[in-house]
Amino acid sequence: MSALVEIRDLEVDFVSRGTVTNRPIRGVTLTLGAGEVLGVVGETGCGKTLMGLAVLGMLPRGAVSRGSIAIDGRLPSARGARSVRGDVVSIVFQNPGTAFNPVFTIGQQMNDVVARHLGLRRAAARERVLTYLRLVRLPDPDRVADSYPHQLSGGMLQRAMIAMALLCEPKVLILDEPTTALDVTVAKQILDLVLQLRDELGIGVLLVTHNLGVVSEACDRIAVLYAGRVVELGETSDVLASPSHPYTRGLLGALPGRHTPDMPLEAIRGSVPPNLLAVTGCAFADRCPIAVDACRVTDPALEGGSGHEVACIRAGVPA
């Protein structure tokens, strides 16, 4: 059985006047199965959003300089990428407060999608909109449909956004920082909803976040992204129980609530390199507490058995 999403050796370049100016995605290979929630985690600037946009087929022409992305076994041609993916992949962006157009009601905006993509007439379109608002557990769907965005809370807006993303029955839902703008308790409710929808609809979910706490609660597997590469990949429980890449360990150490008196809360020093063209060897080496000279020479491949892989020649060396 082929995976729902199969990303092979993806490389994304930004080109200016014929010269490659940045390479924010550098050889990512990942799969997402039906009914699976895959967490993509890493600090801001690691390439998470670009990866999501690549899966959607929304990057500018030519930005994907190497590799391929097959959706549901199909490799869309570069030209047809948008039309092929539009109906199988949907995305929900970070800020529900700005994702909707403020001058139209939620219902009008959802109706638009239904009319454009499914060609439904008024009554049937309205019925479908209400069905999906109900699906995301919004109480009083009629009232929500007739509300303007500013009349709803952040949590309700995010539910409505998810409903809108599901209107055309996608097989893959990408959630890009879906809870970052929300309170902790509301964020938890949204994650619970995502899991319920996954169970009910059997969709594959790519959950993109900088927050390892979010992935640890909601995801079946975790891909840790650093500087445009997957540096650790595995079942959530395996990665959390035995994080092998120093970057993953750093993210865990910086997670409030996990630290104990003998394991203090610690920030990872430094920041993600803004441009990756000049990097040789492991991009994390300059920030890594256990790096050796060899780390600056070759960029290690992702390796490991039983589904838990890590890209580090120092994996397993205590910090």
Ligand X SMILES: Nc1ncnc2c1ncn2[C@@H]1O[C@H](COP(=O)(O)OP(=O)(O)O)[C@@H](O)[C@H]1O
Alpha-carbon dihedral sign for residues 256, 259, 260, 261 = negative
Strands (E), 77-220: 89-92, 172-176, 204-209
Nearer to Mg ion by C-beta: 49 or 216? 49
Shortest Cβ 116–Mg ion spacing (Å): 27
In the region spanning residues 19 to 78, those forming contacts with ligand X, defined by CB under 6 A, are 22, 24, 42, 44-50
Least distance in angstroms from the C-beta of 44 to ligand X: 4
Nearest to 26 by CA among 307, 299, 310: 299
Closest approach of Cβ 63 to ligand X, in Å? Answer: 9
For residue 318, the Cα-to-chain-centroid distance in whole angstroms is 30
The footprint of Mg ion on this chain (CB under 5 A) covers a number of residues equal to: 1
CB of 248 to ligand X, least distance (A): 15
Min dist CB 91 to ligand X, Å, is 12
- Binds 46: which of ligand X, Mg ion, none (CB < 5-8 Å by kind): ligand X
Residue at 42: amino acid letter: G
* Residue 246 interacting with ligand X (CB under 6 A): no
Contact indicator for 109, 191 with CB cutoff of 8 Å: no
- Degrees to nearest 5, angle at CA 10 with 6 and 11: 170
Nearer to ligand X, 28 or 50 (CB): 50
- CA distances to 33, 37, 52, 218 from 4, rounded to whole Å, are 5, 12, 14, 19
Residues 71 and 32 sit within 8 Å (Cβ to Cβ): no
Site for Mg ion in 27-86 (CB under 5 A): 49
Point out which residues bind ligand X (CB under 6 A).
14, 22, 24, 42, 44-50, 274
The contact set with Mg ion (CB under 5 A) reads 49
